[in-house]
Amino acid sequence: MDKKDRIEKLFFLKEIGVNILSSEEVKKMRKALLIKPPTEKGLKKEEKIEKSNFSLGFSLKKKFLSEIEKEIAECKKCPLFNTRKNYVFGEGSIDADIMFVGEAPGEEEDKQGRPFVGKAGKKLTEMIKAMGFEREDVFIANIVKCRPPGNATPTPQIRRTCFPYLQKQIAIIKPKVLIALGNVAAQTLLDTKETITKRRGKFGKYQGIPVMPTYHPSYVIRNYTVAVRKAVWEDLKKVLALLDENS
Ligand code: SF4
Ligand code: URA
């Protein structure tokens, strides 16, 4: 990494915040760059401007994402590493406006190391196409990166342990909107215990990014009624309207 890259990385790391960055890392970066920590009064004016306008270029996004992928590949932070065949990092455009967030890999995802490639994936692909996009135009990821045996709902502890990886992915890709698929994604991103049935259809926020909670494609398959399909489509239309407003 040359100096310019390191500076960009520093600003980026600052932006994604203390919950992701260890103080050791901050110290190391500051030492390397000889940058003094912000004063008690906060960041200087110029730094504030830099921060608010800051967005990573394509090659740095790629670089940082591959660093995170390496971490996941070696991760043993929860018991799921024991039983996984493959980790599922996520896939799609790293410049995507829309990021879909699911729960955890299922059997097929675990086999292939790719998100949403089983039955639920087929349904999700239909949803994406109905919105006028292809899978390659959006980014698809999960809260939990390894398959829970028997497709069990990942425990709150596993969600908490794995969530920082997704937090970093979101901070790097910086989508304009997040679509939370089902209870686990919605409850984790919105830090709520409300169920998806109550919460869906209303925008929330994760780190300043609008989040639309909607039903999980597996739920749609199991409850294939006009009401459920209509609800999901209403939610997706709200996302399209939001993107239209901001373009
Ligand atoms: Fe690590 Fe997440 Fe896999 Fe657990 S599920 S081993 S925390 S990557
Ligand atoms: N269900 C999920 O939540 N994620 C996947 O990747 C596949 C099925």
- Give residue-wise pLDDT tens across range 63-106: 999 999 999 999 999 999 999 999 999 999 999 999 999 999 99
What pLDDT, on the 0 to 100 scale, is given for residue 247?
Answer: 81
Domain containing 203 equals 58-245
What pLDDT, on the 0 to 100 scale, is given for residue 35?
Answer: 45
Q: Are the C-beta atoms of 157 and 193 separated by less than 8 Å?
A: no
How many domains, in total, are found in the chain?
2
Q: Is the CB of 109 under 6 A from ligand 2?
A: yes
Residue of 218, 221, 222 to test ligand 2 pocket, by largest number of atoms within 8 Å of CB:
218
Query: Residues in the chain, how many?
Result: 247
Pick the residue whose CA is nearest to atom 5 on ligand 1.
Answer: 146
- In this structure, the answer to whether residues 172 and 231 fall within a common structural domain is yes
Ordered per-residue pLDDT tens for the chain, 247 residues? 555 565 556 555 555 543 445 555 555 555 544 444 444 454 444 444 333 345 789 999 999 999 999 999 999 999 999 999 999 999 999 999 999 999 999 999 999 999 999 999 999 999 999 999 999 999 999 999 999 999 999 999 999 999 999 999 999 999 999 999 999 999 999 999 999 999 999 999 999 999 999 999 999 999 999 999 999 999 999 999 999 998 8
Å from CA of 77 to ligand 1 middle: 6
- In this structure, the answer to whether residues 149 and 207 fall within a common structural domain is yes
- In this structure, the answer to whether residues 170 and 236 fall within a common structural domain is yes
- In this structure, the answer to whether residues 125 and 223 fall within a common structural domain is yes
Domain boundary among 17, 38, 53: 53
- In this structure, the answer to whether residues 11 and 111 fall within a common structural domain is no
Q: Give the whole-angstrom CA distance, residue 232 versus residue 220.
A: 8
- In this structure, the answer to whether residues 45 and 115 fall within a common structural domain is no
What pLDDT, on the 0 to 100 scale, is given for residue 56?
Answer: 82
- In this structure, the answer to whether residues 134 and 236 fall within a common structural domain is yes
- In this structure, the answer to whether residues 32 and 111 fall within a common structural domain is no
- In this structure, the answer to whether residues 84 and 161 fall within a common structural domain is yes
Domain boundary among 30, 53, 76: 53
Q: Is the CB of 166 under 6 A from ligand 1?
A: no
Q: Is the CB of 81 under 6 A from ligand 1?
A: yes
The first and second tokens of residue 147, run together, are 């398959």
- In this structure, the answer to whether residues 63 and 29 fall within a common structural domain is no
Domain boundary among 11, 29, 53: 53
Angle, CA of 114, 142 and 123, to the nearest 5°:
70
- In this structure, the answer to whether residues 32 and 95 fall within a common structural domain is no
Residue whose C-alpha is closest to residue 163's, from 145, 149, 181, 151 = 145
- In this structure, the answer to whether residues 43 and 119 fall within a common structural domain is no
Q: Is the CB of 210 under 6 A from ligand 2?
A: no
